[in-house]
Amino acid sequence: MRIVLASSNKHKVQEINDIVASLGLPFEFILPPADFDPEETGTTFEENSYIKAYEAWKLAKTWTLADDSGLCIDALNGKPGIYSARYAETPALRIERVLKELEGVENRDAHFTCAMTLINPEGNIEYKYQGICEGCIIKETRGTNGFGYDPIFLVKGDTRTMAELSEDEKNRVSHRSVALRHILEYLKNLV
Ligand code: IMP
């Protein structure tokens, strides 16, 4: 069964297909048509993931799945949240901004969230799920794997940051893989 992943990020499609393959499931995620260019105007991760999934459905008229994710920091009232990708100009500057905003702050609890929306060939929401990965923000960067805020995010129950985990290890605990596994479980029972 082929499902359009509402993202133009080839790396994301590959990451998701790797997780699917590791679970031995009969699904293949593919890129949306080239003119896929949604405007993320939602005020929540859930709304943005619906906007993306529906935009892809309008073009492909088949099963579509979208995700929207980001980092939420308790002491910053959930920021950067849906603004995670735009919190500053570059990934390094975004990390710098977060560390500055947390200077002198004791509660450094945070979580990554990933909202996924699955739309069926009729254009209706078939299933949705929000995956969460808990942790806290350390005071310096550690590790070189992953992307985004991974080097400052210490995974709960581990001594390492997300950027110190291997790709496989991250795929076992990440917000994206938690959400994806729920979506796949749903799809498995459907086909
Ligand atoms: P997207 O919705 O998956 O494109 O994620 C939006 C932004 O959230 C990214 O540009 C990153 O800044 C941040 N983000 C999402 N997932 C992760 C992750 O697994 N590690 C680090 N940063 C992430």
In whole angstroms, what is the distance from residue 186 CA to residue 67 CA? Answer: 16
Choosing from 68, 150, 158, 168, which is the catalytic residue? 68
Confidence of residue 188 (pLDDT cuts 50, 70, 90): very high
pLDDT digits (tens, 9 = 90+) for 39-56: 999 999 999 999 999 999
Pocket of ligand 1 (CB under 6 A): 68-71, 84-85, 112, 146-150, 162, 174
What kind of fold does domain 2-188 have according to CATH? Maf protein (3.90.950)
Is 113 strand, coil or helix? strand
Spatial contact of 69 and 115, defined as CB atoms under 8 Å apart: yes
What does pLDDT average to over the chain?
96
Confidence of residue 10 (pLDDT cuts 50, 70, 90): confident
pLDDT digits (tens, 9 = 90+) for 50-84: 999 999 999 999 999 999 999 999 999 999 999 99
68 is catalytic: yes
Secondary-structure percent of the chain, ordered helix, strand, coil, rounded to 5: 40, 25, 35
For ligand 1, mutation pick of 71, 79, 113, 162 (most atoms within 8 Å of CB): 71
Taking the domains of the chain in order of start, what are their residue ranges? Answer: 2-188
